[in-house]
Structure 1
Amino acid sequence: MAKQNIYDNETFFNEYSKLREREVNANNLFEIPTLYALMPDLEGKRVLDLGCGTGERCIDYLNRGAIQVTGIDISEKMLAVAKSQNSDPRITYIKMPMEDIGTIDGEFDVVISSLALHYVEDFQGVVANVYRLLSDGGIFLFSQEHPINTCFSGEFDRWTCDENGTKIYANIANYCVEKRYESTWFVEGIQRYHRMFSTTINTLADAGFKILRIEEPHATEEIVQKYPDYYDLYHKPDFLFVKACK
């Protein structure tokens, strides 16, 4: 089956860009701070970014001491922005789906992926290739949609609410059914892959990785007081982070 490249859909790309331009969004409040809290020391390191998008973080990795950064992404639109706005002689951008990283030559000290692996069908294959590409002691750090969220396919109401419309709890179904599903986010037909938490961790362990840290960022009282819409995250986390070592 052809790999989906939804970020080159004009409508999706424009709406996603507007979302990321907003100061208050889940990426800025939860995903980015957690990713950098888990980030290893990049001084003198060679970094591979899986799903690099528009390249802002590739530049930041250089600013944090990386000597070489390779960013891959399947989206021509994302890479066009990366090359025009976030270029540097020490950065190489490659148009490539993550499933094809086995064709990359060289070795890396750190492999990072931000909210991209839930689009990948062959997670086991990607993990095996990451392990091969990493130097001994190298770090694999990634975030993905939390399995609690990816098991929801829109077949029923996402939330159970009280008479005032306040969300009481999230509705979960088919968590143990691992599959590809489609959802609507700006456009219809967004393809994601649901894997149980245990599958994600066991796949890493079976490939030879040592799990160093797992994080599930959630709302704090301070955030909820300032941004009440994020009360949802008292019920369930949006993201799962894993830091592993070869």
Structure 2
Amino acid sequence: MGFRGSDFFDDDCIFQNYMARREGQENANDTLEKPLIREMMGDVSGLSVLDLGCGDARFGIELLEAGCADYLGVEGSHNMVEAAAGNLHGYPAKVVHSTIEDWPFPAGRFDLVLSRLVLHYIEDLDSLYCRIHQALKPGGRLLFSVEHPVITSTLQTAGQRTNWLVDQYFVNGPRQQHWMGGTVSKYHRTIEDYFLGLQKAGFTVEQLRESRPLRENFLHQETYERRMRIPLFLLLSGRK
């Protein structure tokens, strides 16, 4: 078995590789996932925001500068928490060092719960949906992104992929990925599972998106065309 979730990024070599990748031009997070998150999120003015698996919290700074009232990040990786604390210094914000599974969610506290590319590390997602639901104010929203089930059902290999083989799509559970110089375990589930889990927890599902590339987000036509081949990310939003 490989690393699971936050402990993956507490390997210093993996952490450094990941941070370097995020700085690269045309990285998938910034060209595919982030533009959709911002579009689906809309105006955050005056909102109290909880960010589950906040990483280095650079996105939290963007939300604060866009007018959110306060920001709380929950992050399990010590390396990420240190980076987040430095980035958030001087802002009305806080980062807590805890796994998502162990953090005690307060009731009726947040207007928006956000999680970017983290929930595919969670084994018992249905229980987490319920805990998030009770932590939201009436009318509050959950917005999250995960690796697309087409990706988590595909054999994970190192290097740039040139083809994808979807296999055992309806078999939920951990899949191993060789990534950033290490092996990490992610949980595969279907689009249907993500959608029905939200409904079961009491959410009204408002949006479902699949990170379709937009040409204006890419410097190079070749990268754009490669990203058009397969969806990398699934994004969902639900309202309490």
TM-score by length of 1: 0.88
Pick aligned residue for 1:97 from 87, 99, 104: 99
Structure 1 position 151 matched with structure 2 position 179: no
1:72·1:96 contact (CA, 8 Å) conserved in 2?
Answer: yes
User: Displacement of 1:63 after TM fit?
Assistant: 1.2
2:215·2:224 contact (CA, 8 Å) conserved in 1?
Answer: no
Pick aligned residue for 1:38 from 34, 40, 61: 40
Partner residue of 1:208? 202
Pick aligned residue for 2:12 from 10, 15, 22: 10
Partner residue of 1:137? 139
Counterpart code for 1:242: L
Whole-angstrom distance in 2 between the partners of 1:244 and 1:144: 15
Partner residue of 1:164? none
Whole-angstrom distance in 1 between the partners of 2:127 and 2:72: 19
1:101·1:126 contact (CA, 8 Å) conserved in 2?
Answer: no
Partner residue of 1:196? 190
Query: Which secondary structure state, in structure 2, belongs to the residue aligned with residue 189 of structure 1?
Result: strand
Partner residue of 1:80? 82
Query: Which secondary structure state, in structure 2, belongs to the residue aligned with residue 214 of structure 1?
Result: strand
Partner residue of 1:232? 226
In our comparison, the structure showing a higher alpha carbon Rg is: 1
Cα 1:74–1:227 change in 2 (3 A) is: farther
Counterpart code for 2:148: H
Structure 1 position 245 matched with structure 2 position 235: no
Whole-angstrom distance in 1 between the partners of 2:97 and 2:199: 29
Give CA-to-partner distance per residue, 1:7-61, whole Å, 9 cap, x none. 1111110100100111321111111111101113211111000111111111111
1:224·1:231 contact (CA, 8 Å) conserved in 2?
Answer: no
Number of aligned residues: 237
2:85·2:94 contact (CA, 8 Å) conserved in 1?
Answer: no
Pick aligned residue for 2:173 from 164, 179, 186: 179
Cα 1:88–1:104 change in 2 (3 A) is: farther
Whole-angstrom distance in 2 between the partners of 1:234 and 1:36: 20
Give CA-to-partner distance per residue, 1:130-188, whole Å, 9 cap, x none. 10000000011101100000012338xx97xxxxxxx5x63211101101121100233
- The 5 Å alignment of 1:61-72 reads 61-72=63-74
1:146·1:237 contact (CA, 8 Å) conserved in 2?
Answer: yes
Counterpart code for 1:126: L
- Higher RCO, 1 vs 2 (CA within 8 Å, ≥6 residues apart): 2
Measured on the aligned residues, the alpha-carbon RMSD in Å equals 2.3
Whole-angstrom distance in 1 between the partners of 2:107 and 2:216: 46
Query: Which secondary structure state, in structure 1, belongs to the residue aligned with residue 32 of structure 2?
Result: helix
TM-score by length of 2: 0.90
User: Displacement of 1:101 after TM fit?
Assistant: 3.3
1:119·1:193 contact (CA, 8 Å) conserved in 2?
Answer: yes
Whole-angstrom distance in 2 between the partners of 1:102 and 1:149: 31
Q: Gaps (5+ residues) in structure 2?
A: none
Structure 1 position 108 matched with structure 2 position 113: no
Q: Gaps (5+ residues) in structure 1?
A: 160-166
